[in-house]
Amino acid sequence: MTEITAPKSSLTSGEFTDEIREQLKYTQGVTPEQATAADVYVATAAAVRRHLVDSWMKTQHDMVNGDTKAVGYLSAEFLMGKQLENALLNAGLTEQFEGAMKELGFDTKDVIDAEYEPGLGNGGLGRLAACYIDSLASIGVPAFGYGIRYQYGIFKQEFDENGKQVETPDYWLVNEEPWGHVDYNRDQRVNFGGEVVEENGKRVWKPAWAVRAVPCDYMVPGYKSGRVNTLRLWTAKSYDEFDLLTFNKSDYLDAVIPKVEAENISKILYPEDSTPQGKKLRLEQQYFFVSASIHDAIRVFYPGEKNPDLTTLPNKIVFQLNDTHPVIGIPELMRVLIDEYGYDWDTAWSITNKTFNYTCHTLLPEALEVWPASLIGELLPRHLEIIKKINEQFMSELKAKGVADDQIERMRIYTDGKDASVRMAYLATYGGSYVNGVAELHSELLKDVTLKDFSSVYPDKFTNVTNGVTPRRFIKLANPRMSDLISEGLGTDAWLSDLEQLKGLIPLADDPEFVKKFAAVKQANKNDFAAFAKRKYGFDIDPNTMFNTMIKRLHEYKRQALKILAVIATYADIKSGKVDPDTLVPRTVFFGAKAAPGYYLAKQTIQLINNVARVINNDPATKGKLHVYFPWNYNIELAQNLIPATDLDEQISQAGKEASGTGNMKFALNGALTVGTLDGANVEIRERVGAENFFLFGMTEPEVSALYAKGYDTKGLSREYYEKDPQLKQAIDMVADGTFSNGDKDTYKDLVNDWLNKDYFMTLADFRAYMDIQAEIEETYRDPMKWARMAVLNVANSGYFSSDRSIEDYLERIWHTGALK
């Protein structure tokens, strides 16, 4: 598979130390004696960048001058996590860094800690984009990540004294940010508003205002590939700076208003990751980065050409649309080709169609973006015209294909009438070459349910690419102990760029020595995490308990409620004397989750979890047996610390709702066992690790559909489950009676009401199965060797879930390109 070309850097520790000293002196103006860990971090970052520059330039040169098509990954989010360790690893400078820190008298941890984590994403979709650009570079495929350099990333989460979530702004640029390079000379003008007029028989857009898009470039080094790609994130700047300089406005404050408004576009990441509202600023963000990126790609691939032959564009670059967020790129490329370069409609359409592909990341209908036509018309009047024309062409095409009238109506991209709107998923499906879901089950449901009308007319457009995660960050960096053990077991570290080699561990699952070592690694990771959590959160965690983790965004469909109800039920059994706590497997339950600021039930669930934790952790009856911790502000750093320490991972979404999940893959690859439903990529994980090494429970997707058909959520059927199951009843009653709200019966009334009267995601219906599987899990855990053997088999059989494999699938099925020669 991946050829290993770039060996470990031949630089010595001493030489690297000197380079860091030089940066301290000439860039920061401090002596090594004056330097703080934060100074050393900045200096090291600058020193590492210098080692990557030659490969970066060569990659760009080969990309433009060779005949390998590049990939443009268009994404509103890149959730990168901290950069330093990753850059050192991929530059082959990890050991030199450790040596240099010794020489300079710094603790590597302090230096790594000094970096502020960039949180330019909400969750899975943003992190996937980060894994994919890592894999593209590691495989050696020329690629750009294109996105927005938000000034404020995903909010910081705190909890107040009542356990409620409080959001504070994430100003990640407080200190010097040494990775990005702002390139004022490669800016782009992005127009907005105004009107379209007829001039010499042509439609001409007369925009009302414009924003200056300034790129900030981040190097994306491949692991042992010798290639370095570019992540280009755009910042919005005002052109009115010039007005300000002349100061011709009477009131200074008024004078800065246009500047503030323009720069607002890249100010903040929207923290919603479902039920998006049709907000004007959000559409401005989308158009802003997509328009700048398309123009940038043309600039890169046709340097200096006044009349480029853009019919060759599809041979130069293929754009992947990460969900519907960049889909306005389709009418934008049409506009650029027709209005700016003079192509006729059909030629423009053929180019556009070949250049774009669309990845869908959801099944929830409310998460599919639909924009009011009035808003598009106000901001992008020419695009609205083009969209309407695409819709007309589409409908005639469908008619010509003999599609029935009612189906054609259902498939409209542009819906006419008073509340006219534009369906971005439909525009993407028609406007691009391929549509993919992110796990097999998800892709099947996309074809058969969400986009059924489309797949019946265009079956060949639909394909699947199951998600993956980068083994460099999520195994090697997150879990160095296990990585060493794997390399020892396999006799090589080549598995890091060819993860299927983990299969070589299968025989070692029957070697008690290896299994013991594996269990010892997990224990050491748990000890480390307990220390980390003490330092960072003040928690007193017992590392000799089972670590049971649920980390992901807070959503009803993900069912954190199911987990917390099960915890409450166990607690109730201990309190009532039904269960002797000494017979339980001692367990520490971890939650990590942010809720969208306006998502009421999600926020109530957070409050409930925090208060269950408070009550249980302070009750002597459960001491040493059951504890709950909710470290706040779940982010990539916490993931990298907690995943390697976890014994049992929770993937308990309602079947048919989680498109894929990627946390599930990270856990399996780090030797956690999964308790999960047949949803998203869980299905494929279970197939690969073996049903006997996976704790399956709950309804399947067809069973879920059947229960909806019976009226589960509309006829209040959940109440029957409550009435029939005393353990479930008791848990819910405790939430209602004030046990977790200092006696107040109102605190959780909306949550309880929802459970008993609607329960759309069928938490109550799956409760019994969930309690039963937890009992089985306890039995298994009592046999440490058995558990560890199952964990080894999870690792050994999860190599498929490398994002390198996902990228290979994209290359073969969608992009039809490959590595640079």
Catalytic residues, by residue number, are 361, 552-553, 558, 662, 666
Q: Which helix (H) or strand (E) holds 156?
A: strand 156-159
Q: Which stretch binds ligand 26Q (CB under 6 A): 327-335, 345-353, 458-466, 653-661?
A: 653-661
DSSP codes, 604-634:
HHHHHHHHHHHHHHT-GGGTTTEEEE--SS-
- Output 124 or 140, the one with its CB closest to ligand 26Q: 124
Q: Which residue among 332, 556, 658, 766 contacts ligand 26Q (CB under 6 A)?
A: 658
| Of the candidates 407, 473, 629, 445, the residue with the CA atom closest to the CA atom of residue 537 | 629
Handedness of CA 233, 238, 241, 242 (dihedral sign): positive
202: which strand partners? 199
C-alpha angle with apex 173: 172 to 178, nearest 5 degrees?
110
- Output 124 or 656, the one with its CB closest to ligand 26Q: 124
Site for ligand 26Q in 373-412 (CB under 6 A): none
Site for ligand 26Q in 298-327 (CB under 6 A): 325
Q: Which residue among 123, 147, 163, 656 contacts ligand 26Q (CB under 6 A)?
A: 123
Asked if 270 is part of the footprint of ligand 26Q (rule: CB under 6 A), the reply reads yes
Contacts of 783 (CB under 8 A, 6+ apart): none
359: which strand partners? 322, 436
Q: Which stretch binds ligand 26Q (CB under 6 A): 568-576, 636-644, 658-666, 782-790?
A: 658-666
In the complex, the smallest distance separating the C-beta of residue 565 from ligand 26Q, rounded to whole angstroms, is: 22
**Judged by CB under 6 A, how many residues of this single chain contact ligand 26Q?**
23
Q: Which residue among 46, 112, 128, 616 contacts ligand 26Q (CB under 6 A)?
A: 128
String of b and e for 482-511 (b: at least 16 CB within 10 Å)?
Answer: bbebbeebbeeeebbbbbebbebbeebbee
- Output 584 or 601, the one with its CB closest to ligand 26Q: 601
- Output 281 or 494, the one with its CB closest to ligand 26Q: 281
Q: Which helix (H) or strand (E) holds 264?
A: none
In the complex, the smallest distance separating the C-beta of residue 558 from ligand 26Q, rounded to whole angstroms, is: 9
Asked if 662 is part of the footprint of ligand 26Q (rule: CB under 6 A), the reply reads yes
Q: Which residue among 661, 671, 676, 799 contacts ligand 26Q (CB under 6 A)?
A: 661
Q: Which residue among 69, 232, 335, 361 contacts ligand 26Q (CB under 6 A)?
A: 361
Q: Which stretch binds ligand 26Q (CB under 6 A): 118-126, 331-339, 601-609, 754-762?
A: 118-126
Q: Which stretch binds ligand 26Q (CB under 6 A): 41-49, 499-507, 659-667, 772-780?
A: 659-667
- Output 172 or 270, the one with its CB closest to ligand 26Q: 270
Taking phi over 0 as left and psi of -120 to 50 as alpha, with beta for the rest, 275 belongs to left
Q: Which helix (H) or strand (E) holds 422?
A: strand 421-423
In the complex, the smallest distance separating the C-beta of residue 562 from ligand 26Q, rounded to whole angstroms, is: 17
Helices of type H across 264-307? 280-301
- Output 221 or 276, the one with its CB closest to ligand 26Q: 276
464: which strand partners? 437
In the complex, the smallest distance separating the C-beta of residue 439 from ligand 26Q, rounded to whole angstroms, is: 7
Q: Which residue among 157, 549, 660, 747 contacts ligand 26Q (CB under 6 A)?
A: 660
C-alpha angle with apex 806: 551 to 273, nearest 5 degrees?
40
- Output 227 or 361, the one with its CB closest to ligand 26Q: 361
In the complex, the smallest distance separating the C-beta of residue 300 from ligand 26Q, rounded to whole angstroms, is: 27
DSSP codes, 485-543:
HHHHHHT-SGGGG-GGGGGGGGGGGG-HHHHHHHHHHHHHHHHHHHHHHHHHH-----T
Asked if 56 is part of the footprint of ligand 26Q (rule: CB under 6 A), the reply reads no
At residue 673, the 3 state secondary structure works out as: strand
In the complex, the smallest distance separating the C-beta of residue 673 from ligand 26Q, rounded to whole angstroms, is: 20
In the complex, the smallest distance separating the C-beta of residue 280 from ligand 26Q, rounded to whole angstroms, is: 11
DSSP codes, 302-337:
STT-SS--GGGHHHHEEEEEESSTTTTHHHHHHHII
- Output 274 or 311, the one with its CB closest to ligand 26Q: 274
Q: Which long-range contacts (CB under 8 A, 24 or more apart) does 51-59 make?
A: 51/9, 51/11, 51/91, 51/93, 52/87, 52/91, 52/219, 52/221, 52/228, 53/219, 55/6, 55/221, 55/226, 55/227, 55/228, 56/219, 56/228, 56/230, 59/142, 59/227, 59/228, 59/229, 59/820
Q: Which stretch binds ligand 26Q (CB under 6 A): 34-42, 158-166, 222-230, 361-369?
A: 361-369
- Output 79 or 211, the one with its CB closest to ligand 26Q: 79
Integer Cα distance of 186 and 234 in angstroms: 11
In the complex, the smallest distance separating the C-beta of residue 733 from ligand 26Q, rounded to whole angstroms, is: 32
Contacts of 375 (CB under 8 A, 6+ apart): 278, 280, 283
- The CA–CA distances, whole Å, from 14 to 17, 95, 97, 299 equal 5, 11, 10, 42
Residue 212, token pair as written in the block: 């200056």
DSSP codes, 358-407:
EE-----GGGS-EEEHHHHHHH-HHHHHHHHHHHHHHHHHHHHTT--HHH
Q: Which stretch binds ligand 26Q (CB under 6 A): 79-87, 273-281, 635-643, 774-782?
A: 273-281
Helices of type H across 140-251? 241-246
Length of the chain measured in residues: 821
Asked if 269 is part of the footprint of ligand 26Q (rule: CB under 6 A), the reply reads no
Q: Which residue among 273, 296, 759, 808 contacts ligand 26Q (CB under 6 A)?
A: 273
Cβ–Cβ under 8 Å, residues 499 and 472: no
- Output 643 or 777, the one with its CB closest to ligand 26Q: 643
Q: Which residue among 438, 564, 645, 765 contacts ligand 26Q (CB under 6 A)?
A: 438
In the complex, the smallest distance separating the C-beta of residue 361 from ligand 26Q, rounded to whole angstroms, is: 4
Asked if 276 is part of the footprint of ligand 26Q (rule: CB under 6 A), the reply reads yes
- Output 214 or 683, the one with its CB closest to ligand 26Q: 683
Q: Which stretch binds ligand 26Q (CB under 6 A): 52-60, 576-584, 660-668, 669-677?
A: 660-668
Asked if 659 is part of the footprint of ligand 26Q (rule: CB under 6 A), the reply reads yes
In the complex, the smallest distance separating the C-beta of residue 346 from ligand 26Q, rounded to whole angstroms, is: 32
Asked if 124 is part of the footprint of ligand 26Q (rule: CB under 6 A), the reply reads yes
Asked if 467 is part of the footprint of ligand 26Q (rule: CB under 6 A), the reply reads yes
Exposed, middle or buried: residue 417 (CB in 10 Å: 0-12, 13-18, 19+)? exposed
- Output 273 or 804, the one with its CB closest to ligand 26Q: 273
Integer Cα distance of 30 and 49 in angstroms: 20
Residue at 98: amino acid letter: E
Q: Which residue among 44, 75, 94, 122 contacts ligand 26Q (CB under 6 A)?
A: 122
- Output 124 or 671, the one with its CB closest to ligand 26Q: 124
Q: Which residue among 117, 369, 637, 754 contacts ligand 26Q (CB under 6 A)?
A: 369
Q: Which stretch binds ligand 26Q (CB under 6 A): 28-36, 132-140, 269-277, 730-738?
A: 269-277
Helices of type H across 538-599? 560-575
In the complex, the smallest distance separating the C-beta of residue 77 from ligand 26Q, rounded to whole angstroms, is: 6
Site for ligand 26Q in 602-631 (CB under 6 A): none
Asked if 125 is part of the footprint of ligand 26Q (rule: CB under 6 A), the reply reads yes
Asked if 468 is part of the footprint of ligand 26Q (rule: CB under 6 A), the reply reads no
- The footprint of ligand 26Q (CB under 6 A) covers 122-125, 128, 270, 272-274, 276, 282, 325, 361, 367, 369, 438, 467, 658-662, 680
